């Protein structure tokens, strides 16, 4: 994983970090981390731009990451790549014994790059 990508895990919950690192071992060079822990200012910026629909993001507490799929070293946004990446993340989460939610499974505002620890299992502050 590129060092610049790994630094984006700073402040992310250790359970989610374990999942991301295991997923990377399963699919080396298959993805990069674009965002982990977010500031309130960054969340407000994304909300204003319509890139998110919530000010209650799991990114604000370090319970979420956004990943970008790589093909031949280039970031790609093709939906099938994110379905495959979700399979890898879910496999890694199961191996680590960590529940995980994928934004691509949401019924509205599907978010293929987004993975988070569930609120029910990881309440704010946990």
Q: What range does the domain containing 98 cover?
A: 3-116
Question: Is 56 part of a structural domain of the chain?
Answer: yes
CATH code of residue 63: 3.30.1380.10
Confidence of residue 6 (pLDDT cuts 50, 70, 90): confident
Q: In degrees rounded to 5, what are phi and psi of residue 91?
A: -65, -45
Percent of the chain with pLDDT over 90: 76
pLDDT tens by residue, 9-54: 999 999 999 999 999 999 867 899 999 999 999 999 999 998 888 8
Question: Is 126 part of a structural domain of the chain?
Answer: no
- Among the listed ranges 32-41, 45-54, 63-72, 115-124, which one has the minimum average pLDDT value? 45-54
pLDDT tens by residue, 78-87: 999 999 999 9
Residue 29, pLDDT score: 72
Overall domain count for the chain:
1
Average pLDDT, the chain: 92
Residue 1, pLDDT score: 65
Residue 54, pLDDT score: 83
DSSP letters, the chain, are --HHHHGGGTTS-HHHHHHHHHHHHHSTTSEEEEESS--HHHHHHHHHHTS-S-SS-GGGGT-EEEEEEEETTEEE--HHHHHHHHHHHHHHHHHHT---EEGGG-SSS--TTEEE--TTTS-TT-
Determine the Cα–Cα distance for residues 96 and 16; give it in Å rounded to an integer: 9
Question: Is 72 part of a structural domain of the chain?
Answer: yes
- Rounded to two decimals, the pTM is 0.91
């Amino acid at each position: 994983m590129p060092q610049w990508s790994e630094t984006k895990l700073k402040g992310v919950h250790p359970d989610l970090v374990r999942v991301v690192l295991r997923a990377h071992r399963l699919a080396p060079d298959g993805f990069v981390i674009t965002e982990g822990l977010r500031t309130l200012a960054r969340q407000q910026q994304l909300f204003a731009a319509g890139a998110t629909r919530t000010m209650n993001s799991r990114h604000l507490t370090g319970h979420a990451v956004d990943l970008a799929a790589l093909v031949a070293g280039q970031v790609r946004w093709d939906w099938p790549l994110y379905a495959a990446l979700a399979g890898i993340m879910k496999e890694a989460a199961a191996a680590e014994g960590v529940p995980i939610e994928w934004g691509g499974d949401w019924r509205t505002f599907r978010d293929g790059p987004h993975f988070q620890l569930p609120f029910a299992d990881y309440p704010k502050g946990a």
